Structure 1
């Protein structure tokens, strides 16, 4: 994928920091030239750790800019892959975090109607004039400019975040910060995946992976009245799903086949073959998670005349729809486990060790209250 117009965010360059921040705070009583904020910074990639540092606090630079005070930010599996050097390669230093929620605390002249409102964001900035952008599919833009918190613009592992007002999506008061953060990218991805899977009106769907996205897919399918079975080898996540009434098995080989659609939320190469085997004729295999699979026998795809559909996050409408369902308590959300921003590396370690039953969320220390 070609990414154009990428740049270091101005708020870092203006701060006068060394390009590899060490995390030192301004001395007590000092008056810095620029107001600062605390952030978890990727100083190199690949890396297993983020560095806590003081960087310049962003301010509006254009009429349509807003500044969000971050109250929570979800950790996505993509973040782990980026840090491992297995995915996107943002220019370092870089602040990850593409699942932020917070309150708008500053705005340019054209965006002041957003002040004091709870909001989250859509992630993708396209070049604006292509067919995909005009159709609301900025994430598919061939000349993609930025993915907030992934490439280009810095993300939400920080106390503040600057975005364009047209990226904002309102967050209802009925959703906690942590629950809202669990929906930003994972929820949009799940809603898009289920929308694609439902195209052929399936009667039975198999969801591979019971993590946050798989959990939300299962809940959305339940709302639509479609029979769903989830494959999840992690006993922590199996227990969570079974406790709320879902049919969960350990492997795809144990699932009741054939099914009309498979939604693969794992990003694990080894599940592709058994997942395809579980499909019935004219079935749909939806890739919500993706991986490099070195040896694929596509004969099974041809013999079943199956469709394989890729998923890249979701549209604004996908995010809005799943936020509304969650706010109305029509879907049960993944269990959230929160860490302070200063403990972000502990959260990353727990995720790598598969010790998180649901969604990991980071909360800036400055807004932390009783475990978020």
Structure 2
């Protein structure tokens, strides 16, 4: 089969390698579409802290069942998406149902080879029928589930005034699912094009430029009350720390972002507001199901999100193009 390998930072190769051998309890999936994630760009740039090269990237996957175990609920040819978090099922996190935070988790395309290839073989519980969702759209379910999980962690409701910081794909997914819960959503970023997209295509209520006057402007707009929930999706330690300045009393702060640096904040301000600080990691099965429900209900503008398309055969050249900010990529999808 053909596979796209990141040999080392900045170097990709399209190679031929043996097809994976399906193990007991696994499903062999013929990959049809692969979404390109910020994680993949970080791997390509040599910025991912948990990765060893060479690596086949790709964890936003859809395809068709090639071969399933005897008696499986899945049938050959059935359209499916892949949940890329391979959890052990036995650790203390898994025993609590926190498979997204498994102590021994392996993520396809990061800790082990992923789906930028013709085939991948994964445990049956990680393969889910798409229903009526087109396979191209199904390749976006995983990144959307990240935002859905963060919104769930923040326990958002229609009564909440929410600030989403960072309007990349993960921030956009948080906007979509915050709006699905009826919240009033403000989006903060430095990019005017992304802010305009958030309002025009995702239904965000307000925008806030992430300039030096953002705190005073937020103070003015909210009558000094600031926000009930802040969701950070910037992937940068400086704005993550700045997010503490936008919290009201009793607020929840959800960190979708993860960075290698320490995050610090003023403890007296944190305590007097009785703020709840929440990490949000990966997603859980009910988050994937929520994404499917919202896509089927027409509340996710999949065509607008999928801004760039290409073939796996052309990915070596396309990856370099798509990694440049001026290309304007929101979500690029490879066809296999």
For the aligned pair, the TM-score class normalised by the smaller chain equals: 0.7 to 0.9
Give how far 1:134 is off.
Answer: 2.8
- Is 2:124 the partner of 1:165? yes
Q: How does 1:1-372 map to 2 (within 5 A)?
A: 37-44=1-8, 47-62=9-24, 64-111=25-72, 113-144=74-105, 146-152=106-112, 154-173=113-132, 175-184=133-142, 186-198=143-155, 203-244=160-201, 245-246=203-204, 247-251=206-210, 252-253=214-215, 254-255=217-218, 256-257=221-222, 258-293=226-261, 296-299=264-267, 300-333=269-302, 335-336=305-306, 337-345=308-316, 346-353=318-325, 355-364=327-336
Q: Is contact 1:75-1:99 (8 Å) kept?
A: yes
Q: Which has the higher strand share?
A: 2
Q: Is contact 1:347-1:360 (8 Å) kept?
A: no
Q: Is contact 2:22-2:121 (8 Å) kept?
A: yes
Q: Is contact 1:73-1:362 (8 Å) kept?
A: yes
1:174-216 deviation digits (Å, cap 9, x = unpaired): x3333221221x1111111111112687520001112222222
Q: Is contact 2:42-2:48 (8 Å) kept?
A: yes
Per mean C-alpha deviation after superposition, the further-off stretch among 218-227 and 240-249 is: 240-249
Distance 1:284 1:202, change over 3 A: farther
1:263-282 deviation digits (Å, cap 9, x = unpaired): 11111122123311011112
Gaps of 5+ in 2: none
Q: Distance in 1 between matches of 2:135 and 2:207?
A: 28
Distance 1:52 1:304, change over 3 A: same
SS for the counterpart of 1:242 is: helix
Distance 1:143 1:357, change over 3 A: closer
Q: Is contact 2:141-2:292 (8 Å) kept?
A: yes
Give how far 1:237 is off.
Answer: 1.9
Q: Is contact 2:33-2:63 (8 Å) kept?
A: yes
Q: Is contact 1:208-1:214 (8 Å) kept?
A: yes
Give how far 1:126 is off.
Answer: 2.6
Q: Distance in 1 between matches of 2:159 and 2:264?
A: 25
Q: Distance in 2 between matches of 1:56 and 1:236?
A: 43
Task: Number of aligned residue pairs: give it.
Answer: 321
Q: Distance in 2 between matches of 1:136 and 1:71?
A: 30
Distance 1:250 1:355, change over 3 A: farther
Distance 1:55 1:236, change over 3 A: farther
Q: Distance in 1 between matches of 2:263 and 2:27?
A: 47
Q: Distance in 2 between matches of 1:129 and 1:78?
A: 27
Give how far 1:355 is off.
Answer: 2.6
Q: Is contact 2:256-2:279 (8 Å) kept?
A: yes
Distance 1:224 1:242, change over 3 A: same
Give how far 1:135 is off.
Answer: 3.3
Q: Is contact 1:344-1:362 (8 Å) kept?
A: yes
Q: Distance in 2 between matches of 1:248 and 1:344?
A: 34
Gaps of 5+ in 1: 1-36, 365-372
